[in-house]
Amino acid sequence: MIEVSAPGKLYIAGEYAVVEAGQPAIIVAIDQFVTVTLNEAKHSGSIQSAQYSDLPIRWTRRKGELVLDIRENPFHYILAAIRLTEKYASEQGKKLRFFDLKVTSELDSSNGRKYGLGSSGAVTVATVKALNEFYQLGLDQLATFKLAALAHHEVLSNGSCGDIAACCYGGWIAFSTFDRQWLADEINQRTISELITSNWPKLSIQPLTAPSDLRLLIGWTGSPASTSDLVDQVNHSRSSQQQRYSHFLTESKACVEEMITGFRTANINKIQQMIRKNRHLLQELTSITGVTIETSALKQLCDLAEENGGAAKSSGAGGGDCGIAITSQKSGILPLMSAWENAEITPLPLRVYHLEKRKDR
Ligand code: PMV
Ligand code: MG
């Protein structure tokens, strides 16, 4: 039996801007996992997941016609990951075999995505990793990222693939995504093996080290939102405000780069200042697009963190889900924890997950 896991993630800064090639974000892997087990089978295979079987199938209308939104359904990511990794395996001369694949997720509750910790990236990476072992492909972190990103491309995901990068590398990372148009053009002309070994324009994944006295606190505000819907809405409404949107991108890049400097020089103050700056920039994006990112519950989460010595912002697409606060070890965290709890914000007891610590994962 093969058993592999991939961690969940949280965005720290650079959200929305990061869906554009070359725009930086900071993302962290957290210690909740999607686990895939794989057993060799004969004549036919199966895919099974208790958590995902209960998920509703979402649909919308386009020109009056019912259209399924497969981007929300983890089974499509699993299928795409299997198809692409097997295509790569065949190119590498491996003989394809049958298997039963089972997925369990700590990132989802049985009634759907609960904490917004990003299971579509994790399930894709865990599937690629399981097949990597099954076919003994010897994929490294970057090759795993590329195969998982190709699977997301196939499902027509509108995401940046930052969640995939956090999953593959663990810890804190600075991430910029690749040029999607380049990938769309290359995909029909090259083998998977060629794509995996080529340099993807604008893609950058750099591990970061957090200052030793930095603390990351995570609060959950409930009302989970659909990331792909929110990104669609931003994409749709920004087109009439091109100039202000470009300004947002420039400012977000400067802010995240400054935050990366804060990490490299172990300067918590600078990191905190840039968290606040990024929060304002996301508010600016709301005023450009009309899309609510910081809900009133997330505002409260941030305000309470500020009153208790932290710097805070929404994490990821927002519209509910999690917010993050950065504090220094010295300032103590208990007053903030109780303030959040009194305001019905759930502190999540999650830790940053570093790959070295769990060799099997
Ligand atoms: O809501 P989350 O944690 O899945 O984060 C989404 C972050 C965005 O930048 C809005 C989208 C993306 O894929 O990068
Ligand atoms: Mg989210």
Q: For residue 360, is pLDDT > 50?
A: no
Output the CA 40–ligand 2 centroid distance in Å. 35
Give the closest residue to 122 by CA, choosing from 163, 79, 171.
Answer: 163
Q: For residue 91, is pLDDT > 80?
A: yes
Q: If DSSP codes are grouped into helix, strand and coil, which group holds residue 185?
A: helix
Helix, strand, coil percentages in the chain from 3-state DSSP, rounded to 5: 45, 25, 30
Range in 147-161, 250-264, 328-342 with the lowest mean pLDDT? 328-342
Stretch 191-214: mean pLDDT:
97
Q: For residue 72, is pLDDT > 90?
A: no
CA-only gyration radius of the chain, Å: 20
pLDDT at 267: 98
Q: For residue 358, is pLDDT > 60?
A: no
For 319-333, b/e burial (b = at least 16 CB within 10 A) is bbbbbbbbbbeeeeb
Q: In this structure, which residue's CA is closest to atom 14 in ligand 1?
A: 160
Q: Are 116 and 30 in contact (CB under 8 A)?
A: no
Predicted confidence (pLDDT) per residue in 19-51, tens digit: 999 999 999 999 999 999 999 999 999 999 877
Answer whether 119 contacts ligand 1 (Cβ < 6 A): no
Share of the chain above pLDDT 70, in %: 96
Predicted confidence (pLDDT) per residue in 213-242, tens digit: 999 999 999 887 888 889 999 999 888 899
Element (H, E) at 72: none
Mean pLDDT of the chain: 93
Bigger pLDDT: 110 or 74? 74
Query: Ligand 1 test: best mutation among 9, 11, 156, most atoms within 8 Å of CB?
Result: 11
Neighbours of ion ligand 2 (CB under 5 A): 116, 227, 316-317, 321
Output the CA 319–ligand 2 centroid distance in Å. 8
* Domains, the chain, ordered by start: 2-209 (3.30.230.10), 214-347 (3.30.70.890)
pLDDT at 109: 60
Q: If DSSP codes are grouped into helix, strand and coil, which group holds residue 156?
A: coil
Stretch 262-282: mean pLDDT:
98
